[in-house]
A and B are shown apart, each in its own frame.
Chain A
Amino acid sequence: MKFVIACMLLLSNFFKAPAQQKLFTKTGTVVFFSKAPVENIKAKNNKLLSVWDVATGQIEFSVLMKGFEFEKALMQEHFNENYVESDKYPKATFKGIVETPKNLFSGVDGNYSVVVNGTLTLHGITKPVMIPAKVQVNNKIISASAAFIILLTDYNIKIPAIVADNISNHIQITVVVPSYQPLSPH
């Protein structure tokens, strides 16, 4: 009896162990870009959070919508008030699995192409996405980047006809994580 409990406790510790192999960042960058006949719209948020569990390949990203900075203050206000409704849906998140090449963490410098499969939640709507990404290992510093396109209609973000020439439905998103840090266990 006691032995079984001891085993269980041990086992539970064993399950917790991979937590040490997590990487994280608080300083990732997300840029989105909309190219339209009247004007181009670009916004940047450099407070992207991400945790990457290397053992399981699980990866998560989270960003506050109000943290996007636009060139024009009015665009920023409209973005938050009228389009993404930041008060109602404060965050955009991504949860997925990185199909990690085996030798990625063997300590060898190099560039690796990976595919991230997961779901993107934006404006309260979750959609599956597949994102090709690049991971770079340079002198034990791991950095990553990815670029993909989303459709505003997929996320129920409506563009009134009157400004249809100002905002594209195709939004190009670029994600850059300059360096992932090891997440120390609490």
Chain B
Amino acid sequence: MKKIFLYTLISLFSLSLTAQEEMLKGIEDSIPAREKVTGAFKSTRVINAHSIEMLAKHNLDFRIMHRFGFVSDGVKQFFGLDAASFRMSFDYGITDNLTVGIGRSTFRKELDLFLKSRLIEQSRGQRSVPVSVVIAAGTMVFTEQSFAPVKPGFSDRTAYYFQLLVGRKFGNRFSFQLSPIVVHSNMPVNVTEDKTIFAAGGGGRFKFSKRAAFTFDYHHPFGKLDAIYTSPLSVGIDIETGGHVFQLQFSNATGMNERAYVTETTGKFFRGDIRFGFNLSRMFKVGKPR
């Protein structure tokens, strides 16, 4: 008898307790909990390659990218800092899932245009999606003067690329993406080279503080390229300060558009043929407030 009384009292007490705890629970549960996974990378480029990050609608990203000479050139070239390759670009978010960009590089005086679209966005909760899928397509034309006996026409100077990005943010700190790419040059730099080059690639970042992260990206080209060309590998640090992202890196690539870094990277990274470089990204809000 006493036992039953005690039991009922306890269950009553616990009942009222759970009722208090769960006052909001029923309502919270009635709302579909699907949440986008944001901030896989700090910037729309890992280092050289596009990242799975998109610009938000009406955001303009002004980027200045520099690659200096090889550190292995030594003190006579001030460890490469005497030589600089430069790319400037404007990227604009038409919608949250569509970005368009235009860039100009000093390397081969090349102008490039690209369109980047997010097809699938990583999310968690109900009907979660494990990865983000982004495609990028672009074209570039070099305007450098040619000394070839037969002058290349506009179409000879043009190249195209198509890139697929599949990436995932694992937890809070680590993100990884695969970034296979096809580059087609109408007239490769050397006539013996394949016009169409496929490259497998990937990139990642590890956030070590709220505003800083280690990054890397790598591509391995398949197909016939001149023997001097190597696989572009870059490792760097992202530092974020308010509206700016600074990306400092060591890379063996000179060029900063897709054709240039996939098919025209020289220097062996692990033999000291490394260039210091930085990307500077400044975000502007253009257009009406949301």
Could you tell me which A residues sit within 8 Å of B by CB distance?
1, 4-5, 8, 11-12, 15-16, 19, 22, 24, 26, 47, 49-51, 53, 58, 60, 62, 64, 66, 69, 71-74, 77-78, 80-82, 85, 87-88, 90, 93, 160, 162-163, 166, 183, 186
Contact A49–B28 (Cβ < 8 Å): yes
Count residues of B near A (Cβ-Cβ below 8 Å): 34
Question: A90–B56 Cα gap in the complex (Å)?
Answer: 22
A160 to B209 Cα, complex, angstroms: 13
Question: How far apart are the CA atoms of A19 and B16 in the complex, in Å?
Answer: 10
Residue B190 interfacial (CB < 8 Å): no
* Contact among A71, A82, A183 with B211 in the assembled complex (CB-CB below 8 Å): A82
CB-defined contacts of B285 to chain A, threshold 8 Å = 71-74
**Which residue of the partner chain, among A1, A12, A73, A162, contacts B1 with CB atoms under 8 Å?**
A1
Given contacts A77-B39, A82-B211, A88-B172, contact A60 B24 (CB under 8 A): yes
A78 to B11, CA, bound (A): 46
**Inter-chain contacts of A71 with B (CB < 8 A):** 285, 289-290
B153 within 8 A of A: no
- Inter-chain contact A82/B210, CB cutoff 8 Å: yes
Does residue B143 face the partner (Cβ distance < 8 Å to A)? no
Shortest Cβ gap from A14 to chain B (Å): 10
B102 within 8 A of A: no
Q: Are B56 and A73 in contact (CB under 8 A)?
A: yes
Q: Does B59 contact A (CB under 8 A)?
A: yes
In the bound complex, CA of A88 to CA of B27 (Å): 22
A153-B146 Cα distance, complex, nearest whole Å: 62
Q: Is B19 an interface residue (CB 8 A)?
A: yes
Beta-carbon contact of A15 and B35 below 8 Å: no
Q: Which residues of B contact A77 (CB under 8 A)?
A: 38-39
Which of B5, B16, B39, B243 is in CB contact (< 8 Å) with A15? B16
* Complex partner residue of A80 from B24, B38, B59, B290, CB under 8 angstroms: B38
Judging by beta carbons under 8 Å apart, are B242 and A162 in contact?
yes
Closest to B285 in A: A72
- Which residues of B are interface residues toward A (Cβ below 8 A)? 1, 4-5, 8, 11-12, 15-16, 19-20, 23-24, 26-28, 31, 35-36, 38-39, 56-57, 59, 172, 210-211, 240-243, 283, 285, 289-290
Q: Which of A49, A62, A74 contacts B59 (CB 8 A)?
A: A74
Are B4 and A5 in contact, with the CB atoms below 8 A? yes
5 contacts across the A-B interface (CB closer than 8 A): A5-B4, A8-B12, A15-B12, A51-B27, A160-B211
Q: How far is the CA of A32 from the CA of B26 in the complex (A)?
A: 27
Cβ–Cβ contact A60 & B35, under 8 A: no
Residues of chain A within 8 A of B283, CB atoms compared: 74
A8 to B290, CA, bound (A): 57
A residues in contact with B31, CB < 8 Å = 26, 47, 49
A60 B15 Cβ-Cβ under 8 A = no
**Contact assessment for A24 and B27 in the assembled complex, using a CB-CB cutoff below 8 Å:** yes
Q: How far is the CB of B5 from chain A (nearest CB, A)?
A: 7
Q: Which residues of B contact A19 (CB under 8 A)?
A: 19
Which residues of the other chain, B, contact A1 by a CB distance below 8 angstroms?
A: 1, 4
Q: Are B243's CB and A74's CB within 8 A?
A: yes
A119 smallest CB distance to B (angstroms):
14
Contact pick for B241, options A49, A81, A88, A162, CB 8 Å: A162
A69 to chain B, nearest CB (A): 7
Nearest chain B CB to A86 CB, angstrom units: 9
Known interface pairs A1-B1, A77-B38; A69-B290 also in contact (CB < 8 Å): yes
Taking CB atoms, residues of chain B closer than 8 Å to A49 are 24, 27-28, 31
Nearest chain B CB to A146's CB is how many angstroms away? 18
Q: How far is the CA of A1 from the CA of B9 in the complex (A)?
A: 15
Q: Whole-angstrom distance between the alpha carbons of A166 and B210 in the complex?
A: 18
Q: Roughly how many angstroms separate A73 CA and B35 CA in the complex, as a whole number?
A: 16
- Nearest CB to that of B61 among chain A residues? A74
Minimal beta-carbon separation of B31 from chain A (angstroms): 7
Q: How far is the CA of A71 from the CA of B16 in the complex (A)?
A: 43
Apart from A51-B24, A72-B285, 12 more pairs, CB < 8 Å: A4-B4, A12-B12, A49-B27, A66-B36, A71-B285, A73-B59, A74-B56, A78-B240, A80-B39, A81-B210, A82-B211, A186-B26
Q: Is the CB of A4 within 8 A of B38?
A: no
